[in-house]
Amino acid sequence: MCELTGKHGLIVGVANKRSISWAIARAVQASGARVALTYPSARLEENVRELAAQLDNPLILPCDVGNDEHIAQLAATLDRELGGLDFLVHGAAFAPAAALSNPFVQTTREDFRIALDVSAYSLVALSRAVQPLMERRGGGSILTLTFVGSSRVFPNYNVMGVAKAALESSVRYLASELGPQKIRVNAISAGPIKTLAAAGISGFSSILQVYRERAPLGKNVELAEVADAALFLLSPASRAITGEVLMVDGGFHVVGF
């Protein structure tokens, strides 16, 4: 039921080989899907192209998710090249360094706007852009990535926690509105993983240690484990699931003390 042969997907958020989005790209490719990958800037284009060389006939396209014109051009290219879309993986997230290192109460209006725009609103903008492409295929699956810092305070996560809370709320509203078009919208809340984004969070190694000590499974989550959960949510096996935040964190979220 997790077979994706003949399916077309867009994956946003690949930065390097440690990206969750990249792990998902590999998993869906292995299950038969053809994927399109995006890069947000010339600085990351080389990384994405080098990784994409490991895939079978991928599309590599530019897209700054903070730019509506870029998103429109992306949708037009996908329409022309693929003729429709079966799934979207939204892995875009960003907050200025100062917004993560300074106390939350000192978050500037501009840093707050950037974090919410890139990390949360981009899901709305991308969903709107791909909706017609998914309707053409009889429906689809949209998946985003979040973290338990959306509902609990983590040191130095700050405005990103607020952005993830907005992202999870957006999942529910989008799921409600797009359900009649047979488009499902879900999120995975993964345990902490050493990604490029995590490198910007001071004390991240301590967070990893706490998870290892307190999670019922006694270990940190691996990229492949998150990718397998994503494959499930993108496939027909999860056809009755929408508006869900699936916790893939070794059970850490159930522990109170």
The string of pLDDT tens digits covering residues 188-225 is 999 888 776 666 666 677 888 888 999 999 999 999 99
Whether residue 1 is contained in a domain is answered as: no
> Can you tell me the distance from the alpha carbon of 217 to that of 147, in angstroms, rounded to the nearest whole number?
18
157 has catalytic annotation: yes
Which domain covers residue 52, as residue numbers? 8-246
In a domain, 252, yes or no: no
**pLDDT score of 194:** 74
> Tens digits of per-residue pLDDT, 142-164?
999 999 999 999 889 999 999 99
- Please pick, among 7, 164, 182, 219, the residue that the annotation labels catalytic: 164
| pTM tops 0.85, yes or no | yes
Q: What is the mean predicted confidence (pLDDT) over 35-43? A: 95
Residue with tokens 């959960």: 229
Phi then psi for 208, rounded to 5 degrees? -60, -40
In a domain, 257, yes or no: no
- The total of structural domains in the chain comes to 1
Could you say which of 17, 157, 182, 211 is catalytic?
157
Residue 82 in any domain: the answer is yes
Residue 187: enclosing H or E segment and its boundaries?
strand 183-190
Sheet with strand 183-190: strands edge to edge: 59-62, 34-39, 8-12, 87-90, 140-146, 183-190, 245-248
Asked about 173 being catalytic, the answer comes back as: no
Is residue 253 domain-resident?
no
CATH number at residue 198: 3.40.50.720
Nearby residues of 180 by Cβ (< 8 Å), 6 or more positions away:
none
